[in-house]
Structure 1
Amino acid sequence: MMTNLFSVFDPTSDVMNLSLNWMSTILGLLLIPSSNWLIPSRISLMWHTITLKLHSEFKLLVGFSKSYKGSTFIFITLFSLILFNNFLGLFPYIFTSSTHMVMSLSLALPLWLTFMLYGWITNPNHMFSHMVPQGTPPLLMPFMVCIENISNIIRPGTLSVRLVANMIAGHLLMTLLGNTGSTIPIYLIPILIFVQILLISLESAVAIIQSYVFAVLCTLYSSKNN
């Protein structure tokens, strides 16, 4: 029974206080047949085309330096993981892990911390130069340092909140409309079904866009801090 509106996002099935709903994060690895990695198919070829496109785009964002060779695959993997979890949440009775800050922050915070540590250790002069934008008056420099530091520190939080808020908004709207199905007149049921189909189509687009935005912003943060 749903105690409140947000309880649809709560993990409810557990064994020995371990939430089984989080297994949906790795559920795709169990569903993919082994022949998918050996025998070319339309799905595998389509995904290969998508990864090549993402690789070329992320390479432009990161840069062509040899030190970044192969780093784009980290962001492609991140995009794939978020995209898969976003789409899983569109199916009934499947826990949407991407609507929880635990999931999104555990992806954003380690990446941001790694970028910052690598930048400060390898190129501290470059990191110091980002604290004060070029052309800033000397009187405003202390304030600009504070503002730049705050904007840098909140980056993992904004990444996480953006993903969670966008995924929760559509799910809440579909839940609200779905709960009204038993109370509205029967002649309005086709309209409700049509609106729900439109919302699912919109949420499918949001699932792709948010996973892409998350990966692109992580790539931009990597290029700025290194």
Structure 2
Amino acid sequence: MRSSARRARLGDTAIAALTVVALGSAVWLLGGGAGEHAPPQPPAAEGRPDPGGERLAAPPLAPSPPTRIRIPAIHVNAPLMALALTPAGSLDVPPADRKNLAGWYEAGTMPGETGTAIVAGHVDNTEGPAVFYDLGALRRGARIEVDRQDGSVAVFTVDAVEVYAASAFPDEKVYGAAARPELRVITCGGGYSRTTGYRGNVVVFARLTGSR
């Protein structure tokens, strides 16, 4: 995954807006051809504002670290590890060889509390599809559940799914602070080049709509 080198705000923490972060290798694409195996990309219609997207979210939850993310519509059920920033100021990523592992930015907002929580994971690795391979197939209204260390589950509803070129990544829109509990789920996307890799990122925008 890659984005520009501008600075963005994530709660009270400044984050270099993902200079170069690899969330997909696509090496396995080269054997069978990207046309046959390329991960799905969201249609433009999924980027339009959800008519209910500006409604207030559910009441925020007390801070508690997340432990697992589930997205039933695309069969994701994956543990979460904490992610920090690299020395260059970009978000680190889960180990590429653990394809069913995602991560959350631990210096930012915890999923369920007020603000913008960030979860990232690989679209593929050298062996094939990884945890967020089908992220681009997600649609508005889909449910995302995040298990938390205190035993609660934060339930989010997808408001939009968009794909951005690396050269036009909207840092503030994706990483900017929010006045309600929100979630971003990010992976690589935007097509694949044999010379430069994935051209951009798929981003899911969701808001907290319940808990249990």
TM-score for both structures, normalised by structure 2: 0.27
* Greater helix share, structure number: 1
* Greater strand share, structure number: 2
* Larger-Rg structure: 1
